[in-house]
Structures are given as C-alpha cells and as structure tokens.
Amino acid sequence: MEIIHRDGLARIGRFTTLHGKVETPTILPVVNPNLLVIPPKEMKKFGAQAIITNSYIIRRSSTLKEKALKDGLHSLMDFDGPIMTDSGTFQSYVYGDVEYTNQEIVEFQRSIGSDITTILDIFSKPDDTYDQARNAVMETYRRVEEIPDYSGSMLAGPIQGSVYPDLRKQSAELMGGSRADYLPIGGVVPLLENYNYETLVDIIVSARINTNLGKPIHLFGGGHPMFLAMAVYLGVDLFDSASYVKYARDGRLLYPEGSRDITKIRDFPYWSPLFGKYSPSEVKRLEKDEKTVLLSRHNLAALFMELEEIKERIHEETLFNYIQEKSRAHPYLYRAFMRILDHRENIAYFQDISKKSPFFYYESTSLLDPSLSRLMKFSIGYIERNRRDTAIVPADSWRPGVPLKKEILALYESNPLNVMLEWCDMLIPMELEETYPVEQHLTSSHSDEKTFIENYNSIAFLVKPHLVRYLKDMVVDPENKAARNFDLEKIRTVADFQFGIGSGLALFPEDSTIIKSRSTGRIRNILYNGKITGTMRTMDGFFTLTTYGGEMLRSATLYPGNRVVVGRDSAEYNIKGFNVFFKFILEADENIVAGNDVLVVDQDDRLLAVGKATVSGKELLSYKEGVAVKVHHAISAHLDSS
Ligand code: GUN
C-alpha cells in the first residue's frame, strides 16, 4: 500500500491487484452473482473502481461455478476491474456451517481469478462470550496461516474479536503479522445494523492502531454514507456496500446524512441520476424490480458523492472539521463523534506536525481535536519544567498574526517568568505565538468561561505555590531590562516543541544570529558560525533544518532521537540528496512526528541528510512502498546551500 496523501489516520492510498490499481478510500459495491441489479461495468460511471462478490454463492450454483471456472470470474461478472471475493463466512454466520473447507474455498477463489481472495474466517458476534471470541480469533489466524503461498491474488485475513478490546488488539497484531496482505475488520455487521457506532469506533481504533499499517484496511459491511467519513477518519481504506440495493428494495433513498423513504420526498436532489428524469410519484408507481434498479442508481450516486467529499477533505486536511459537521446530522453520529474524541490520545500520535488548513475553534469541544494534543501537553510540560512565576497575557491584549505589543515584549524581557497567552480558552507559551496552530486558526470567539477556568486552574495548580498574575499588573524592572531575549527564547522553545526538550539549546547557542525578513519583521534564518542552521517557515512557524543544523542536533541528542537509520545501499543515494524509500529503513525513532524534519543517518550514526518524514515513527517501519523521507538538504549535494 502506497500513501499518496494523509490526514492523521486517514489516507489516500493506492495498491495494485492483478486487474489494476485501486485508489483508497473506496467502496466496493456488493454484487450478487445471481442477480445483477446494476451491471458491474456500469458501476464505473458512478466512481466504483472495484467490486466484491461472493465465491460461496458462485461455487454452490453449478451454472455459475462452471462458467467461472471456464471463462473466469471477470467474464462471469462482465467487469474488467479488480474483483474481491468473500468466502462464505457471512453465510455460515446467518445460516450455520458451510460445506467447504477454508483451503478449498480459497483455492476455488484463486482458480476463478479473483483479485482479492478471503479466507473462511470465524465470524465473532458482538454477543459472543469471551471464550467464543478468543477461539474465533485464534482459529481465524490458524486458517490464514494454513493457506499455501501464492504469487497471484491478494489474501484477505479478517480481524475478529467481537467487542473485547484486548482480543481485537490481539487479532489485529496476529493478522497484521500474518501472510494476509489485506485486512478486513469483520464481525461488525450486527453493530452497523443497530447503529451501534460507539462500539464500532472502539473496534476500528483498536484494530487500526495495532495492526500493520502497510496493509489496506477494510470495514466489512460498512458502506452506509452516514458513518463513512468517521470510519475513514479512523483509518479505514475500503468498504463494501450492499446497502445501495438493500435500501432500494425497501423503497429508501440514501443521502450523505441518512436515508429517506420514496413515499415521503418532494423531489430527487439535483445530484441524483433520477433528478429531472422522474418524479418521485412516477418512480413509486413502477414495478418493484424497475423501482429497485432506479433507487439503486440513486443510492450508488449518494455513496460515491460522499466518498468524493471525504477524499477532498483528506486532500485539504480538513477531515476532522467534516466529521465534526457530520456529528450534528444525527444523535447516533454525535455519540460516535464523542467516542472518537475519547480516543484522541491514540489518534493524536498520527497527526502531522502541521496542516495545510487552519485549526477551527467553535467552542470548548474543539479543544478535544486530536491535532491540539501535542500543543496542550507541551504547554503543561513547559510550566512543569520551569516552575517559576507565571504571567498571563489576556486574549484581548494580543492577536495571532499581529506582532506582539512593545510593552508585552519589554515585560517579557525584563521578567524571567513563564508568560502564557490566552488562546482559544487555553494557556500556551508566548514563544509559540507563530507556531501551528496558534497563529493558523480561525475562531468563533465563543469564549467558554468554564473551560477557561478549568484550564487556568490546571496551570495555577502546577505553578503553586508560585505566583500567577496578569501581565498588566507588572512593571518593567529598569535594573533588569534585557534579562533575556524574546527572539532567542522563541526559537529555542519552538525547537523544543518540534524536536524534543533540549533541542533548542543544542540548535541555537547563545551567539546564534537571528535574521528577520525586512518586509514582515518575522524571523527567517538562524545562523551559527556564519552558517544557516535552520529556517523558520512562514507557513507554520516550524523549522526546516540544514545539514549544519542537523549535525548540531544529532551530536547533542542521544540515539535514536529524531533519526531514521538506513542501510548502505540507500546511504550512498541519500547523501547526494535523493529521497529515502521505506524499504531501505532499518530503524526509526518511534517519536518521530509525521511531517517533521528528521535526521537520516547510517548505521554508524553518521548524518547523511535532513528531510521531512512523510509518516510517523511507527509507520516508517510498516510501509514498504513509496517515499519515507523527502530529503531537502544532504551532506554532499549541490542542493545544500548552507
Ligand atoms: N461480511 C460481513 N462480515 C464479515 C466477516 O466478518 N467475515 C467475512 N469473511 N465476511 C463478512
């Protein structure tokens, strides 16, 4: 699986099958081989890249089986794109045991030319006992491991474990490390049918963060447009949807926020393939089969329209804002959203250091956005570390993006206090005024006193018995006018936030030179001994390091801090400025933040290059395809101008 773009756990990715590439996230419409409601090849027009059908149904019908074995699955389905086949597990869950063994059914899928074959896993129901669920996990694992190696189609190994978090974790780890190269999350259909999205959120999170991130993740049965965005936000890449036909049969129309009954609507929405062609009352009067076909078309359009919006949101890095909006579409979705926020610490690990889009502050719930977690922790740690008196700059005394007032700077420089800015009902170190998302945010200015008091009290509690006061109550001490320099403190604090505590001192010694932009007055380059160590980016206020700065950081920080270790084959290219590919990485610091600058070193800890990590530390070791570090400065490359 190759990552094209990411927004936290969500990703636009790509993988290759025997019948071409699939770009994720995507939905595989479920096609019943006995009954093609919409011809599969027509589904491409709606945006479907691949479809899913059931090998068990094909095998049980002698006509279908013979045709599939003779002409192949793609001819049977009249579809030339990737086809995934399921195994009969779901039928055994609904009707009891099936008559084929695991090996037989996989062998059959291979012989008819399926692109993604599925083992006969054990469906673990939400009401299974712990022992039943554990047996399902272990037996499913045994079954994936008994399948002979095969170079053709991909092998799907479902993650089971019912509602037990430790079993879901164990299953995710086992299947992630198994020979399966495609990981569906199974056993969740009953939860989806009951709109139990909260439990589903727990299951998806534990499966996603504990498995091999280099393999595509599929949510079996998860193709309802309501929950799609939240599932993608949690890292699901693929869905299958039978809902487009099921709802159509019941006379129901899907919409991005839910569904409506054909008998109750006034007209079709403009995006519907039925809009302008039929009126709802005309469709209502049609024969059942004809009505099902038309409503299925509408439903497929709704699914793929929602999917397109989700992909756009990943691309612009606003998927969190989108699920926040969606959470208001239905109380069950709101519940699911709140449960997602309960998992914010797990999700926070996967957030990029900064986003293309600003942080949106609506009201106090916005502070639970996982992308704020790093800033919150740093702000508390800042006070804990320094343990000195603290002064507060109230929200009405400064504005993000506008230079701080001279009086505030003078007070800062003459009083060696922690100076905290009131920002979105939080308190943050003043030195981070330009760092993402402090400057890059949009606020409703809906101040919530209760939240602010809570945040204020947690800070006040930390500094006790030290003093907390407002800066306006303080004076510049004439004896102590330049006790410290704001610019130097600022670059060091940003570096500590970006690379870890102590990095500021290592990168920017006392006699560093700070160059500011003539037009904006903002810090641009930092020099030491006449050489550039780093450049503060206007976009997000973080640093881009040169190899000179990289070497200062490397020599001052212990292994594996901020390092990506590559083998000899790669080193000779990286030292010249070529990017680092995943497959050449030997080790990586787990604390690396996606999008941050990292030190590319060889096995003897010699610096080769500095570049931007495309994913987080844990993910650096999971992926096998694509660029892991985009090198921007290398030891022996002309592009290193420092
Ligand atoms: N379809 C819906 N749920 C499942 C599942 O858990 N396993 C398989 N193989 N197919 C499914």
Q: What is the per-residue pLDDT across 412-470, written as a single tens digit (0 to 9) for each?
A: 998 888 899 999 988 899 999 999 999 999 998 887 777 777 777 766 665 555 556 66
Task: Determine which of 257-261, 339-343, 474-478, 486-490 has the lowest per-residue pLDDT on average.
Answer: 474-478
- Which DSSP category does 528 fall into? E
The single-letter code of the amino acid at 75 is: S
> Which residue has its alpha carbon closest to ligand 1 atom 2?
220
> Which residue has its alpha carbon closest to ligand 1 atom 5?
186
478 alpha carbon – ligand 1 mean position (Å): 74
Instruction: Give the closest residue to 120 by CA, choosing from 96, 162, 156.
Output: 156
486 alpha carbon – ligand 1 mean position (Å): 59
pLDDT of 174 = 98
2-345 and 498-641 share one CATH topology?
no
The response to whether residue 118 sits with its C-beta less than 6 Å from ligand 1 reads yes
Catalytic, 589? Answer: no
Under CATH, what is the fold of the domain 2-345? Answer: TIM Barrel (3.20.20)
The response to whether residue 56 sits with its C-beta less than 6 Å from ligand 1 reads no
pLDDT tens profile 359-392: 999 988 899 999 999 999 999 899 888 877 788 8
The response to whether residue 89 sits with its C-beta less than 6 Å from ligand 1 reads yes
Separation CA 116–CA 609 (nearest Å): 39
pLDDT band at 640; cut points 50, 70, 90: very low
pLDDT of 327 = 95
91 alpha carbon – ligand 1 mean position (Å): 9
Question: Which residues are paired to 156 by β-bridges?
Answer: 118, 182
505: which residues sit within 8 A by CB, 6+ positions away?
A: 492, 556
Task: Determine which of 10-19, 404-413, 567-576 has the lowest per-residue pLDDT on average.
Answer: 404-413
pLDDT at 292 over 60: yes
Share of residues in the chain with pLDDT > 70 (%): 96
Domain segments of the chain: what residues? Answer: 2-345, 359-473, 498-641
> Which residue has its alpha carbon closest to ligand 1 atom 11?
90
pLDDT of 384 = 85
Lay out the sheet containing 26-29: strands in order across: 26-29, 238-241, 217-219, 183-185
36 alpha carbon – ligand 1 mean position (Å): 21
> Which residue has its alpha carbon closest to ligand 1 atom 6?
186
Give the atom of ligand 1 at the shortest distance from the alpha carbon of 119. 9
pLDDT tens profile 293-336: 999 999 999 999 999 999 999 999 999 999 999 999 999 999 99
The response to whether residue 220 sits with its C-beta less than 6 Å from ligand 1 reads yes
Question: Which residues are paired to 259 by β-bridges?
Answer: 254
CATH 3.10.100.10 given to domain 498-641: no
pLDDT of 93 = 82
Say whether 187 counts as a known binding-site residue: yes
> Which residue has its alpha carbon closest to ligand 1 atom 4?
186
For residues 499-506, average pLDDT: 97
158 alpha carbon – ligand 1 mean position (Å): 7
pLDDT of 370 = 96
Give the atom of ligand 1 at the shortest distance from the alpha carbon of 187. 6
pLDDT of 94 = 82
The response to whether residue 90 sits with its C-beta less than 6 Å from ligand 1 reads yes
Using CA atoms, how far residue 393 sits from 375, 390, 412, 433, 451, in Å, is 17, 10, 10, 12, 17
Say whether 425 counts as a known binding-site residue: no
The response to whether residue 109 sits with its C-beta less than 6 Å from ligand 1 reads no
Share of residues in the chain with pLDDT > 90 (%): 84
The response to whether residue 123 sits with its C-beta less than 6 Å from ligand 1 reads yes
pLDDT at 641 over 50: no
Decide: helix, strand or coil at residue 588: strand
For residues 571-586, average pLDDT: 97
Give the atom of ligand 1 at the shortest distance from the alpha carbon of 156. 9
For residues 155-168, average pLDDT: 97
pLDDT at 478 over 90: no
The response to whether residue 240 sits with its C-beta less than 6 Å from ligand 1 reads no
117 alpha carbon – ligand 1 mean position (Å): 12
Q: For a pocket test of ligand 1, which of 52, 57, 85, 93 has the largest count of ligand atoms closer than 8 A to its C-beta?
A: 93
pLDDT at 552 over 90: yes
The response to whether residue 157 sits with its C-beta less than 6 Å from ligand 1 reads no
**Torsion, Cα of 437, 439, 440, 441 (10° steps):** 80
The model's pTM: 0.95
Instruction: Give the closest residue to 590 by CA, choosing from 617, 610, 565.
Output: 617
For residues 253-261, average pLDDT: 94
Give the atom of ligand 1 at the shortest distance from the alpha carbon of 186. 6
Separation CA 275–CA 612 (nearest Å): 47
Quick one: how many helices (H) and strands (E) in the chain? Answer: 25, 29
pLDDT band at 472; cut points 50, 70, 90: low
53 alpha carbon – ligand 1 mean position (Å): 12
The response to whether residue 352 sits with its C-beta less than 6 Å from ligand 1 reads no
Q: For a pocket test of ligand 1, which of 56, 84, 89, 144 has the largest count of ligand atoms closer than 8 A to its C-beta?
A: 89
pLDDT of 466 = 54
Q: State yes or no: cis peptide before 437, omega within 30 of 0.
A: yes
178 alpha carbon – ligand 1 mean position (Å): 18
pLDDT of 140 = 98
11 alpha carbon – ligand 1 mean position (Å): 23
Q: Give the helix ranges, DSSP H, for 253-287.
A: 280-284
Structure tokens at 422: 């009131």
pLDDT tens profile 56-107: 999 999 999 999 999 999 999 999 999 999 999 988 888 888 889 999 999 9
Using CA atoms, how far residue 124 sits from 139, 159, 426, in Å, is 11, 10, 44
Instruction: Give me the catalytic one of 86, 115, 237, 496.
Output: 86
Question: Which residues are paired to 630 by β-bridges?
Answer: 612
pLDDT of 525 = 98
Q: State yes or no: cis peptide before 269, omega within 30 of 0.
A: no
Q: For a pocket test of ligand 1, which of 55, 57, 90, 114 has the largest count of ligand atoms closer than 8 A to its C-beta?
A: 90
pLDDT band at 642; cut points 50, 70, 90: very low
Instruction: Give the closest residue to 295 by CA, choosing from 271, 317, 262.
Output: 262
The response to whether residue 87 sits with its C-beta less than 6 Å from ligand 1 reads yes
Give the atom of ligand 1 at the shortest distance from the alpha carbon of 221. 2
The response to whether residue 121 sits with its C-beta less than 6 Å from ligand 1 reads yes
* Pair 74, 80: CB distance under 8 Å: yes
DSSP 311-328: HHHHHHT-HHHHHHHHTT
Separation CA 484–CA 486 (nearest Å): 6
